[in-house]
Amino acid sequence: MSHRIMNSFQLLHGLVSMQTATVTDPTARKAVEQAFSRIQAMALVQRRLFEATRNDLATLDAADYLQRLGESLTGAFIDSGRCTLVIDAAHGIPMPAAQASSMGLIVTELVLNALKHAFGAQQQGTVTVRFEACGGDRRLTVTDDGTGLPDGASTVKPAGSGKGMGMTLVHGLVRQLGGKLEIDRPNQGGRPGTRFVLTFPA
């Protein structure tokens, strides 16, 4: 089944790639290119989820899964001369595969969002993904040391309130996990940065 899903992703990836080549309107081309990147990112999440559940289809080790996902995101999207992705996850925390899928998509969207918005053309930075157990909950933190949020954006608005497609997707996945998402400015190294903190039940 996983191989069939990956084949479907490859087909969809190819079709959107062909469509991108025929679009001349700048706004439409940007939308198609964003869809192209999101399909590629979702395929990475699916591949890493498949690898993490080879021995147990029901559960996986969250740290191993996030480390491998981080390697895939680095290879596919990150210019190592401009940005470093750090994964700091506690080993030995089991996670149902369905939860891991949602969490992987959230990590992917937030990392890509940081790459797109956090760092200027000449600015270098770091994105850190941290995962830990907090009693009966799980906590995922995605932090960058970039330029920070614009004024008036210190809280995450609900889906449908003008945010982009990426954040709309994140909010939907947070609801699937039954979690809570918070955002602040951590002020790292003299730069405001942005920090997303997702807490959800185990």
Listed residue (134, 130, 135, 148) closest to 187, CA to CA: 148
Kindly indicate the confidence band of residue 41, based on its pLDDT and cuts at 50, 70 and 90.
Answer: confident
- Domain ranges, ordered by start, for the chain: 2-201
pLDDT at 88: 96
- How many residues are present in the chain? 202
- Give the distance between the most distant pair of CA atoms in the chain: 52
State whether residue 172 is helix, strand or coil: helix
190 burial (CB, 10 Å; 0-12 / 13-18 / 19+) is: exposed
Residues 185 and 193 sit within 8 Å (Cβ to Cβ): yes
This prediction has a pTM of 0.77
Which comes out higher in pLDDT, residue 61 or 197? 197
State whether residue 58 is helix, strand or coil: coil
Which comes out higher in pLDDT, residue 42 or 125? 125
Architecture of the domain made up of 2-201: 2-Layer Sandwich (3.30)
pLDDT at 1: 61
State whether residue 10 is helix, strand or coil: helix
User: Which tens digits make up the pLDDT trace of 144-163?
Assistant: 998 877 655 544 443 334 45
Computed over its alpha carbons, how large is the radius of gyration of the chain? 17
pLDDT at 189: 63
Listed residue (93, 169, 180) closest to 131, CA to CA: 93
Which comes out higher in pLDDT, residue 181 or 7? 181
Segment among 76-80, 86-90, 146-150 with least mean pLDDT? 146-150
User: Which tens digits make up the pLDDT trace of 101-138?
Assistant: 899 999 999 998 888 888 876 678 899 999 999 989 99
How far apart CA 172 and CA 174 sit, in angstroms, is 5
- Mean per-residue pLDDT for 170-180? 94
Measured at the alpha carbon of residue 75, what is the angle toward residues 40 and 97, in degrees to the nearest 5?
Answer: 60
Kindly indicate the confidence band of residue 182, based on its pLDDT and cuts at 50, 70 and 90.
Answer: very high
Question: Who's near 58: CB < 8 A, 6+ residues apart?
Answer: 96, 97
Question: Who's near 92: CB < 8 A, 6+ residues apart?
Answer: 61, 63
- Mean per-residue pLDDT for 73-83? 85
Mean model confidence pLDDT for the chain: 82
Which comes out higher in pLDDT, residue 39 or 132? 132
Question: Which of the given ranges, 7-21, 43-57, 118-132, 139-153, has the highest pLDDT on average?
Answer: 118-132
